[in-house]
Amino acid sequence: MIYAGEIRPLELSDTKLASEPDPKRSEKCSNITVMANDKRRILAVDDEEDILEILSFNLSGEGYKVDTCISAEEALRKDLSGYDLFLLDVMMGPISGFRLAEKIRKELTLTTPVIFLTARDSENDRITGFNLGADDYLAKPFSIRELSARVKAILRRSSPEQVTLETVAGDFMVDTANKLIYSEGVPLELTRKEYEILALFICNAGKIFSRNDILSKVWGDEVIVTDRTVDVTIARIRKKMGEKGNMIKNKSGYGYYFGD
């Protein structure tokens, strides 16, 4: 388990756990409704590779799309208009985070929110930051939880559209907020892997997933487990689904899918 506040080590196996299974399309197949929920994009600019990795790893884990730049110059060569938030280190040479923010605001005329990262916490920096329209200010070393709370707060403020998403297929409903799947109104008692697989199936009813598809989406690309694990897990899900268990179909040689 990762302890709050400490900077998470970059370990691989943890990647998938933090992020929600996020269906980011808005499609209708048969009687299935999925509500869109696109990832927010964050650009982090810092001259320390380590910090960038920490930011990227942790915020990705929270479901954000994170790009990084090692310098303000690199950032300025990019198209900055597509981002929802900038995380800027104050002290980078030759163009500081403040200067970069100024350019973003005045030359590119973007109102994208900015959070400054700084090692110092001097009053001077703080004031300059706020004059440039910083939305927040985070002194290094910062706790990951603090960072993610602020990011969340800022993004919520700037785009109040946050949909709790529920997906219904047949007699099944997925409640992603509470990690529950209802079968005919009754919640199934699923473990984490079981939930993620069944949610994947229900949210993409009819679509065939090979074992590798499932491994990569539920377990993540770094984790190495036998693909027969998928079979076993699906057997467990089916058992918990009772008579409805046969709604998880298998197409021999291709994979599994949900349907009736």
Enter the tokens of residue 44.
Answer: 């982090």
The pairing of beta strand 166-169 with beta strand 172-175: antiparallel
- Considering only 6, 10, 12, 13, the residue that binds DNA (CB under 7 A) is 13
DSSP string spanning 50-84?
HHHHHHHHHHHHTT-EEEEESSHHHHHHS-GGG-S
* Size, binding site for DNA by CB under 7 A: 33
Q: Which residue has the tokens 């269906």?
A: 23
17 near DNA, rule: CB under 7 A: yes
Q: Could you tell me which residues come within 8 angstroms of residue 30 by beta carbon, excluding any fewer than 6 positions away? A: 169, 205, 206
Residue 122 touches which member of a second copy, DNA, none, C-beta under 5-8 Å by kind: none
Q: CA 140 to CA 156: how far, in whole Å?
A: 23
226 near DNA, rule: CB under 7 A: yes
What mask, x for binding DNA by CB under 7 A, covers residues 193 to 222?
Answer: xx----------------x-------x---
73 near a second copy, rule: CB under 8 A: no
- Considering only 91, 175, 188, 236, the residue that binds a second copy (CB under 8 A) is 175
Q: Of 2 and 70, which CB lies nearer to DNA in the complex structure?
A: 2
Find the angle CA(145)-CA(146)-CA(147) to the nearest 5 degrees: 90
Q: CA 159 to CA 152: how far, in whole Å?
A: 11
Stretch that binds a second copy, among 40-48, 88-96, 213-221, 233-241 (CB under 8 A): 213-221
CB of 46 closer than 8 Å to CB of 52: yes
Give the CA-trace dihedral at 109, 56, 62, 194, to 10 degrees: 140
229 near DNA, rule: CB under 7 A: yes
Q: Which residue has the tokens 């992020």?
A: 19
Residue 64 touches which member of a second copy, DNA, none, C-beta under 5-8 Å by kind: none
Q: Of 30 and 143, which CB lies nearer to DNA in the complex structure?
A: 143
Q: CA 57 to CA 59: how far, in whole Å?
A: 6
Q: Of 159 and 250, which CB lies nearer to DNA in the complex structure?
A: 250
Q: In what order do the strands lie in the sheet with 65-69?
A: 65-69, 41-45, 85-89, 114-118, 136-139
191 near a second copy, rule: CB under 8 A: yes
- Considering only 211, 238, 240, 244, the residue that binds a second copy (CB under 8 A) is 211
Residue 233 touches which member of DNA, a second copy, none, C-beta under 5-8 Å by kind: DNA
**Could you list the residues that contact DNA (CB under 7 A)?**
1-2, 13, 17, 130-131, 191-194, 211, 219, 223-226, 228-229, 231-236, 238-239, 250-256
**Could you list the residues that contact a second copy (CB under 8 A)?**
1-5, 17, 24, 130, 135-136, 143, 145-146, 149-150, 153, 173, 175, 177-179, 182, 185, 191-192, 206-208, 211-212, 215-216, 221-222, 224-228, 251-254, 257
